[in-house]
Structure 1
């Protein structure tokens, strides 16, 4: 990394301990009245089960659909054995949330049966889930075996050093209950004083199992996973190193000292100064809108200048092949893209010259929030967007996050290899540093982290199989060998 040093864990821990005067964010856990409900911490119902209902999760990562796919499975059972390995000392609980095969909201109980959360139409205040949905893990070094009883989608397997608080609230939009999950962004969330993390998964009859480690919104407990397939093969994504949060925060604080940005403020600590998690910059900006305001300005100007005189080629990695994009005025336009193309010229009558009667379309210059979040401004997707646009957006946003548009080979995206990601400046240091402290460099650190050149490393931390046998999730870092 250019001008950047990675402290050892001992140095990092000492650095963090001696610099808590820096603007690390402090949490102050509240009650149900302090909950802020957003699409990132709710799961809404589409099917009613007795008096209970469920929703489609809005909290899952955005996928480029460019990487791992699984074929239709032959197995008829949706049962998924989970092996939960605890490498932490102290009390650790697991939780499983998601939608069952009928799209009903479910939580897994320790006895292996579904619990269907409900909500009252008469109240708008979040009501606590008081059912027994915490699955206690064994002592450090032990493995707890649980089985998800049937197919599940939009699911999360949570781990917490303590007990997380889940709530329900009635959604008039879906006419059913919404599950309100712990929020890493809200410092007053009732669970904010607890260290937690999760892996995401979907296991369906048609698609099989798709699971990933996600740091798109935050990095918390060190989690890793491995998948044993029905044919005996294995896949793995080992996740963060033990005690990685202290090292990540030390690195972010050092980077903030270099460029004057609020990187260290992404770190959250409790009232005693114990570091809990690191919030992604897109989520931090949502609560501190003045942060990173001009961070990418010079880089964006250079990108626009570069592709005014020469084309940027986007390899869609689909049947559309490669597409040429060029800057025209203030917009980056791409051939065949319904929102990234040159305006069409039409004649209003045979007596008039041809004039431009269509509104110019294309990709406007993104803001830092657009780049970090990949779902707003020029990177927002609309229902009318064509397949080409939906293929270009992930690859373009990934290039901005990794700062690969102006380095050697950057005129083709995705083009530069993973070893060259984040070597440009400025860059998404949150994502870069997260990957530095992953055991094998795998785990989503921004929404389109599964974009990569054909044959290169997939940094997203995905495991997938049509016929899964056992999914093992480890909390606290890899087990000693």
Structure 2
């Protein structure tokens, strides 16, 4: 997470490794999340994993990431001891077995989180298959039908633990699968929790997708025994053909038409309300100017992949101008607020996903979260609508596996 202060989110290639988690927390730091520690953060903190899933299969846990002290990729055992990955190969070679036995149903297991930027994976019934390429760890890519993890029920959380504290989130950026919530016990003894679905929320999300015309139900992947494994994100739905490439075209075209005669005002920094940029479409390109009228960046009309992945024509570099504007545009397109509010980001969650052409995947997930918060697309943290817990003096982290009902 320290590699970038702000997430530069080009959706991961097969061998992107835990950099996604690093980029994620970087954006959280940049978004103005307080990072003041009341006391020195210890080298490791306990992570309490509670299995309330009701599932009888064996549970396997993995703690994979980048060691912030050395910058090396690797894994941590149950005691929080860092172990670097050996050299990979081409083709990729099997990674060492980094699994940790997880808790039985109704039980809790406590492991240690080290100074990491990474992911905590968990899988039901079967260990995950990780491999090492010459560029690092190959993450599961279940949008690929030949991926060895395609028929395994699994999920992951993302976190960073550094000298400024703990950032821990639940994520649905890649897929919606085995549900869980995250929490932290703060230095003052209080606790914070997020990521928990409403009762019946898991099936509620899946049923919403099934009922939505246009191929959204095709995002759902099922195992041969009938087990529903996950719903892919719409970005991967595009890649697999589950969704048509034109799924967002109508909305994108209406936005481009609107701002050919009107101005879109973007205020990308909540703590700097005086920093504004002004967008107008001319010659098919949306140009943004600053207060002096100088053009600071321009955007070609995006496609659905750029919108859902917050990449491509909406790529957000690690800078102070285009990146923040792009983040805001990406959020506005996914939430479909750009036509109803020319001042972005729109702070009113009640106005999100109201257009008939929208990110119905994100709509369904947010609607079924107990607190309304989720990471349903890459820049869902714009406006602090993400499922994140943070503390500068964490005493304990928590992941609770929830039932799939």
TM-score (normalised: structure 1):
0.74
1:271 counterpart (205, 218, 224):
224
Matches within 5 A, 1:211-230: 211-230=168-187
Matches within 5 A, 1:213-292: 213-241=170-198, 244-256=201-213, 261-288=214-241, 291-292=243-244
Matches within 5 A, 1:330-345: 330-336=284-290, 342=295
1:285 to 1:298, Cα distance in 2 relative to 1, 3 A: closer
Matches within 5 A, 1:383-422: 386-407=319-340, 410-422=341-353
Partner of 1:25: none
**Structure 2 CA distance, aligned partners of 1:275 and 1:372?**
23
Q: Return the offset for 1:245.
A: 4.5
1:42 counterpart (3, 8, 15):
15
**Structure 2 CA distance, aligned partners of 1:59 and 1:283?**
18
1:367 to 1:242, Cα distance in 2 relative to 1, 3 A: same
Matched, 1:145 2:110: yes
Partner of 1:325: 279
Conserved 8 A contact 1:222-1:243:
no
Q: Return the offset for 1:439.
A: 2.4
Partner of 1:107: 75
1:131-175: CA deviations, max 9, x gaps?
Answer: 3x2222232221111112x3111x11111112112122223xxxx
Structure 2: stretches of 5+ with no match in the other structure: 1-10
2:316 counterpart (381, 388, 391):
381
Conserved 8 A contact 1:300-1:365:
yes
Matched, 1:196 2:162: no
2:370 counterpart (439, 452, 462):
439
TM-score (normalised: structure 2):
0.87
1:466 counterpart (362, 370, 392):
392
Q: Return the offset for 1:416.
A: 4.8
1:127 counterpart (89, 93, 98):
93
Conserved 8 A contact 1:294-1:368:
yes
1:43 to 1:314, Cα distance in 2 relative to 1, 3 A: closer
Conserved 8 A contact 2:183-2:191:
yes
2:51 counterpart (53, 69, 86):
86
**Structure 2 CA distance, aligned partners of 1:426 and 1:85?**
38
SS of the equivalent of 2:134 reads: strand
**Structure 1 CA distance, aligned partners of 2:86 and 2:392?**
32
Conserved 8 A contact 2:216-2:243:
no
Partner of 1:348: none
Conserved 8 A contact 1:218-1:278:
yes
**Structure 1 CA distance, aligned partners of 2:200 and 2:83?**
33
1:305 to 1:473, Cα distance in 2 relative to 1, 3 A: same
**Structure 2 CA distance, aligned partners of 1:239 and 1:365?**
36
Matched, 1:165 2:129: yes
SS of the equivalent of 2:321 reads: helix
**Structure 2 CA distance, aligned partners of 1:463 and 1:442?**
11
Q: Return the offset for 1:240.
A: 3.3
1:270-294: CA deviations, max 9, x gaps?
Answer: 1223210011011222233x94322
1:381-408: CA deviations, max 9, x gaps?
Answer: 346xx5122221111110111111122x
1:43 to 1:335, Cα distance in 2 relative to 1, 3 A: closer
Conserved 8 A contact 2:157-2:170:
yes
Conserved 8 A contact 1:61-1:216:
no
Computed over aligned residues only, the root mean square deviation of the Cα atoms, in angstroms, reads 2.6
1:426 counterpart (342, 349, 357):
357
Q: Return the offset for 1:242.
A: 6.6
SS of the equivalent of 2:112 reads: strand
**Structure 2 CA distance, aligned partners of 1:405 and 1:451?**
14
Partner of 2:3: none
Conserved 8 A contact 1:68-1:462:
no
Conserved 8 A contact 1:404-1:416:
no
Conserved 8 A contact 1:41-1:59:
no
1:72-119: CA deviations, max 9, x gaps?
Answer: 564152211100000122121211111112112221224543332212
Q: Return the offset for 1:428.
A: 0.3
**Structure 1 CA distance, aligned partners of 2:111 and 2:309?**
34
Bigger Cα Rg: 1
Matched, 1:366 2:319: no
Equivalences, count: 385
Structure 1: stretches of 5+ with no match in the other structure: 1-37, 45-55, 172-177, 344-360, 453-457
Conserved 8 A contact 1:341-1:362:
no
